[in-house]
Amino acid sequence: MSVVDILSKYHSAFESGLLTTFQLSLIIWSVGLTLGTLLGALAVKWKLAVGIPSRLISFTLSGVPILVFLFWLHYPLQSLLGVVIDPFITAALTLSIINLFAVADVIREVLSEFPAQYLIAGKVCGLSAQQILLHIQMPIVLRQTVPVLLMIQVNMLQATLFASLISVNEIFRVAQQINSQIYRPVEIYTALGLLFLAICLPLNGLALWLKAKYTRDNSER
């Protein structure tokens, strides 16, 4: 049975797994990008109250493997709290937290290094604070952050594979279930790899193109 035969015969199962993966990713992306951007902005505005705690949490999370963090939230924490939470929710929460702080770090760094002379030039030209934000600061910040944030979201999409280990029926778990029936690991995981290549390569290519075309060194050098 070839890769094409497997994709054709089990297309319904693969579609169901992909749907779960996309649903999980959509939650992770939405939470990470919205709350992460807000946290990054607040970290710059209130360095002591928000910035330092945010950086400490981010630094701590960077030293914990995603799988360990996921398992800790799924087993020990729920046991300590005496609750049972749907694995999909646990996976979404775990990866959303990681994505949130990853996005916040990017936003905080870009805003912290934003050239003050651009803001001064806007004031000299008589622009209001809102006009400076909309017409000067936001366009430059977007040009600097979008490529990096896009790559982070691709990494988050790939990290959803870990959800299979706590019984979330995303695409990797579906592939495992199909393999348990026909035991064709080479063909099945090749098919899985091709699916991810079809999704992730265009996104990574877009991120690299945006970075090459729009990202600039905004320093005074």
Residue with the larger pLDDT of the pair 64 and 8: 64
Q: What percent of the chain has pLDDT over 90?
A: 55
Instruction: Give the CA angle between residues 72, 151, 13 to the nearest 5°.
Output: 65
Q: Model confidence over 139-192: pLDDT tens digits? A: 888 888 888 999 999 999 999 999 999 989 999 999 999 999 988 899 899 988
Give me the pLDDT at residue 119, please. Answer: 81
Residue 159 in contact with residue 95, Cβ under 8 Å? yes
Least confident segment among 16-30, 48-62, 120-134, 166-180: 120-134
The pLDDT-based confidence of 221 (bands split at 50, 70, 90) is very low
Within 8 A by CB and 6+ apart from 104, the residues are: 36, 37, 39, 40, 43, 54, 58
Place of tokens 């035991």: 183
Please identify which residue in the block is written with the tokens 């790939």: 158
Is the Cβ–Cβ distance between 137 and 121 less than 8 Å?
no
- How confident is the model at residue 216, as a pLDDT? 57
Q: Cβ–Cβ contacts within 10 Å for residue 135, how many?
A: 11
Residue 220 has pLDDT above 70, yes or no: no
Strands (E), 78-184: none
Contact between 24 and 168 (Cβ < 8 Å): yes
pLDDT given for residue 8 in this prediction: 83
* Alpha-carbon distances, residue 57 vs 64, 70, 101 (angstroms): 11, 16, 8
DSSP 127: -
Question: Average pLDDT of the chain?
Answer: 89
| Structure confidence at residue 5 (pLDDT) | 82
